């Protein structure tokens, strides 16, 4: 999956002007969340802000901006009858022209490569190629054009890095001037999937998952099983010691075991079940395979109480197809369900505290 930063860098390298469209804030029901992005060029688009008439209108505005040479602007879109959408909410879209002078792209790209979390602060109006402030825990890069504004924005951005706050549209200023700023945290995805097996189902599943905000470690000993093109959020681990990848995975990981060997499946299952900090463990196979594995693992000292933490068979119920693509969709849906439930549980204490 290409990222909007990569896409803008590519367009810049080609000399193609573009407008970055970002959902800055929403009220009520809306098709996408704050931070969702779309890149608009004179002849194409990349990404989506939710489709429908809102997206068509955003493309029109973006292309008008490219034609006129206008600067950044925030536009308000009520999602009612005038847009032919029945969401009933309200969306604020930030339109930012991006041309050859957008050096902030390289800054963000470098931080992404280093997995350094940051907050990008953008003015919601201004000249084309207006600067941005990029704030990490240890440094500040760029400027919004005024030292006092930079200092206040830096303070708020650092607080955002610590409190987990999402994208935020905020009015800042003093008695003489006020500026509307968009604060956007860029954090490493906490949805970490470790997938053992590069067969047909594994390949189909990676294809589906790579379009999501997650990190995938794809493990197999057979180098020729991996495709030539690997998506940005996928790390290939071609290794003869796959069990080491179980130990190396961070807490809260999602494990999937679907190798070419039942013996290896069992070895990995034992290794995973000896951990107590994963979010999900799924083993491909039938109920009879599960029972067989449970008997073998119990004889090897795995406590039977741990088996409840193993999902086998895998995938949401109601999908009977055995094609790799069908299995991949069912399993991806199950992972998203578990991820959402896990996120709700993790956020409950903070919600109670805020109340």
Q: Could you say which residues of the chain have pLDDT below 70?
A: 1-2, 80-88, 126-130, 173-178, 344-355
Contact 205, 284 (CB under 8 A): no
Task: State the distance between the two ends of the chain, measured CA to CA, in whole angstroms.
Answer: 39
Question: Which tens digits make up the pLDDT trace of 201-250?
Answer: 999 999 999 988 899 999 999 999 999 989 888 999 999 999 999 999 99
| Residue 2 pLDDT | 61
Strand pairing report for 132-135 and 45-47? unpaired
Kindly report the CA angle at 62 between 60 and 67, in degrees rounded to 5?
A: 95
DSSP string covering 181-202:
EEEEEE---S-EEEEE--SHHH
Element (H, E) at 96: strand 90-98
Q: What is the pLDDT of residue 165?
A: 86
Whether the CB-CB separation of 283 and 293 falls below 8 Å is answered with: yes
Place of tokens 């989506």: 48
pLDDT digits (tens, 9 = 90+) for 311-352: 999 999 999 889 999 999 999 999 999 999 877 665 554 443
Determine the Cα–Cα distance for residues 149 and 174; give it in Å rounded to an integer.
Answer: 9
Given this model, what pLDDT does residue 176 score? 46
Domains and CATH numbers, the chain: 4-98 (no CATH), 104-186 (no CATH), 192-341 (3.40.50.720)
Q: Determine the distance from the C-alpha atom of residue 9 to the mean position of all C-alpha atoms in its chain, rounded to a whole number.
A: 19
């Amino acid at each position: 999956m290409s990222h909007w930063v990569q896409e803008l860098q590519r367009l810049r390298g080609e000399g193609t002007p573009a407008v970055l469209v970002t959902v800055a804030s929403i009220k009520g029901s809306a098709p996408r969340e704050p931070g969702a992005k779309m890149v608009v060029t004179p002849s194409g688009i990349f990404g989506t802000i939710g489709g429908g008439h809102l997206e068509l209108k955003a493309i029109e505005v973006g292309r008008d901006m490219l034609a006129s040479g206008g600067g950044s602007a925030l536009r308000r879109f009520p999602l009612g009858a005038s847009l032919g959408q029945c969401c009933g909410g309200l969306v604020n879209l930030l339109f930012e022209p991006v041309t050859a002078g957008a050096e902030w792209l390289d800054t963000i790209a470098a931080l992404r490569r280093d997995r350094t979390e940051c907050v990008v602060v953008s003015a919601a109006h201004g000249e084309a190629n207006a600067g941005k402030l990029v704030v990490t825990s240890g440094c500040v890069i760029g400027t919004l054009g005024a030292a006092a504004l930079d200092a206040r924005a830096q303070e708020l951005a650092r607080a955002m890095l610590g409190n987990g706050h999402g994208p935020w549209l905020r009015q800042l200023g003093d008695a003489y001037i006020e500026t509307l700023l968009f604060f956007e945290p860029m954090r490493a995805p906490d949805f970490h999937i470790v997938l053992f097996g590069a067969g047909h189902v594994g390949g189909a599943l990676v294809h589906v998952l790579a379009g999501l905000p997650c990190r995938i470690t794809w493990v197999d000993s057979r180098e020729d099983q991996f495709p030539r093109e690997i998506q940005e959020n996928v790390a290939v681990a071609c290794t003869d010691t796959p069990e080491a990848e179980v130990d190396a995975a961070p807490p809260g990981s999602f494990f999937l075991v679907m190798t070419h060997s039942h013996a290896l499946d069992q070895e990995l299952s034992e290794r995973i079940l000896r951990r107590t900090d994963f979010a999900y463990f799924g083993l491909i196979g039938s109920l009879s395979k599960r029972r067989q594995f449970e008997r073998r693992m119990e004889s090897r000292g795995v406590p039977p109480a741990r088996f409840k933490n193993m999902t086998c068979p895998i995938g949401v119920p109601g999908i009977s197809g055995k094609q790799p693509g069908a299995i991949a969709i069912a399993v991806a849906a199950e992972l998203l369900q578990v991820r959402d439930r896990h996120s709700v549980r993790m956020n409950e204490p903070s919600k109670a505290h805020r109340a």
